[in-house]
Amino acid sequence: MKKFKLIGAIILVVFISVFISKERLLKKDKDPIVVAQHDSEQDVEANSQNKNHSNSISNILLVNKTNGISKNYTPENITKVNIPFVEEATEEEKQMAGEPAKAVEDLVKQANSEGIQFLGSSAYRSYDTQLDTYTRRVKSQGREKADAYVAKPGYSEHQTGLCIDLTNPERWFVGSTKEAKWLAENAHKFGFIIRYPEGKEDITGTAYEPWHIRYVGKDAAEEIYSKGLTLEEYLQNK
């Protein structure tokens, strides 16, 4: 009888040992997954933080329909642009990052000396402002037309503080106007490009906008202009 009890006790001990070992093994297998998940979340957060503070022109920021920007992104050294703006422009929309702001002031000054007048229409727009702009356009024109001309929030260059929409006193800024022609021929001299050129809609994903200029720095702007590239094509070759 004692022999059977001893055997039973041994079997019980073996069973418990196997069970504990299995639990430890399962826990060991799970831990790396948990750690990996945390690391992944930290990587995403780190990337967002980098984007939030990145405003180096030498490391050109690409924002388009497939390359988003952090909701919390704020341009560094944001400042008011000292040029005339349309009456409906908000105080927020009159701002740009410091370097592009000075460049567009020089551009407008030079244009004025040549008899060309520009008005600022919209420069910096926060994520929330872009959300409101996009929502209103969808309601008034439908999603298809809205998507053609207005970026979805989080995918707008205006949030970078590196671009500005210009217009003329007549508020009719199309490719055939003298202002649009001057801008297309001279923007690169000040570090800007026509961000959404005609005939490149399949690359930029955005309809032709002769009024929308983006600051990339003089060297990049000169190359993009001379080779007839889009920003996407330029960066793809780098």
pLDDT per position as a tens digit, 9-52:
545 544 445 444 444 433 333 322 222 222 223 333 333 433 44
Q: Which amino acid is at 48?
A: S
Burial zone of 155 (CB within 10 Å; 0-12 exposed, 13-18 middle, 19+ buried): middle
Task: Say if residues 187 and 193 touch (Cβ distance below 8 Å).
Answer: yes
Alpha carbon distance 231, 27 (integer Å): 49
pTM for the complete prediction? 0.75
Q: Which amino acid is at 125?
A: R
The residue to which tokens 């929409």 are assigned: 165
pLDDT per position as a tens digit, 54-104: 334 558 999 999 999 999 999 989 999 999 999 999 999 999 999 999 999
Q: What is the DSSP letter of 205?
A: S
